[in-house]
Amino acid sequence: MSDFRIDQKDINRLSQIITQADAVLVGAGSGLSTAAGLDFAGERLQKYFGDFTVKYGMTDMYSGCFADFESREERWAYWSRWAWFNRFEEIPKDTLRNLKKLLDGKDYFVLTTNIDHSFIRAGFDKRKLCYTQGDFGLLQCSKPCHDKTYDDQDLLRAMISAQGYNLDSKGHFQVPKDKPVKMTIPAELIPHCPVCGREMDFNLFWDDRFVRDEGWHIAHSRYESWLSAHKMGKILYLELGVGFNSPGVIKYPFCR
């Protein structure tokens, strides 16, 4: 995917439109995360998944999740890297922070299909966000047997460490230069549901097993309340980086 680029004239025009609007509803898709440097292919793919691309011929991080891994330990090694380097590492570019500056002082809300929590990391108010398709940073029962989710940051950190990544002075994992990283994790790190004992999964909208926990419902309630309160006036519907993977969430509703 190519970089999303706009020149200063476009930024000035957008700033003017935002200033004139009574409120702004941002619809954000994966293209916006790519513009912020969280690219699922290219250089980042080779940096963090070079070993997996050689073995499985992966062309991007997402499709790589569905590779025919040799073991559960190998699958979780891949998944843990996928989640950690896109959810918890520093966002490479200032794209989202610049967007926040444009929206500061405005009555806005953000609806996003992105699962990297990049808006939170860029300083956006959590009460103005609706992450409709889940979060890399949460686990759920793979069945699921109940509707609760669980933070996974500490577990992912342990998985990344077990693969041999180096932790630098700022707390970021780096690819070691002196030896290859492992492509598996210890079996004891594979998470299991505390209720039924089944293997867990990320809280992502893969299919109809997606868990909508309390936080999900609170966010959607806030989104519906915001829409209800903004039926009149100059409302700017700002679509950023939205494709056709799930057009019914943002693209089609924003065209009404």
- Is 1 a residue whose pLDDT tops 50? no
pLDDT of residue 6: 60
Q: What is the value of pTM for the model shown?
A: 0.89
SS (H, E, C) the chain: CCCCCCCHHHHHHHHHHHHHCCEEEEEECHHHHHHCCCCCCHHHHHHHHHHHHHHHCCCCHHHHCCCCCCCHHHHHHHHHHHHHHHHCCCCCCCHHHHHHHHHCCCCEEEEECCCCCHHHHCCCCHHHEEECCEEEEEEEECCCCCCCCEECHHHHHHHHHHCCCEECCCCCEECCCCCCCCCCCCHHHCCECCCCCCEEEEEECCCCCCCCCHHHHHHHHHHHHHHHHCCCCCEEEEEECCCCCCCCCCHHHHCC
Contact yes or no for 52/58 (Cβ under 8 A): yes
Task: State the CB neighbour count (10 A cutoff) for residue 20.
Answer: 9
Average pLDDT for 166-194 = 93
Per residue in 31-47, is it b (16+ CB within 10 Å) or e — as a string?
bbbbbbbbbbbeebbee
Note the pLDDT tens digit of each residue in 23-55.
999 999 999 999 999 999 999 999 999 999 999
User: What integer best gives the mean pLDDT of the chain?
Assistant: 92
Mean pLDDT of 171-189: 93
- Residue 256 pLDDT class (50, 70, 90 cuts): low
pLDDT at residue 169, as a whole number: 84
Express each pLDDT in 90-148 by its tens digit: 999 999 999 999 999 999 999 999 999 999 999 999 999 999 999 999 999 999 999 99
Whether residue 68 has pLDDT greater than 90: yes
User: What integer pLDDT is reported at residue 252 of this predicted model?
Assistant: 63
Task: Report percent pLDDT > 90 for the chain.
Answer: 83
Residue 2's pLDDT band (boundaries 50, 70, 90)?
very low
Inform me whether the pLDDT recorded for 195 exceeds 90.
yes
Q: At what angle do helices 42-56 and 72-87 cross, to 10 degrees?
A: 180
pLDDT for residue 3 is more than 60: no
pLDDT digits (tens, 9 = 90+) for 202-255: 999 999 999 999 999 999 999 999 999 999 999 999 999 887 776 667 776 776
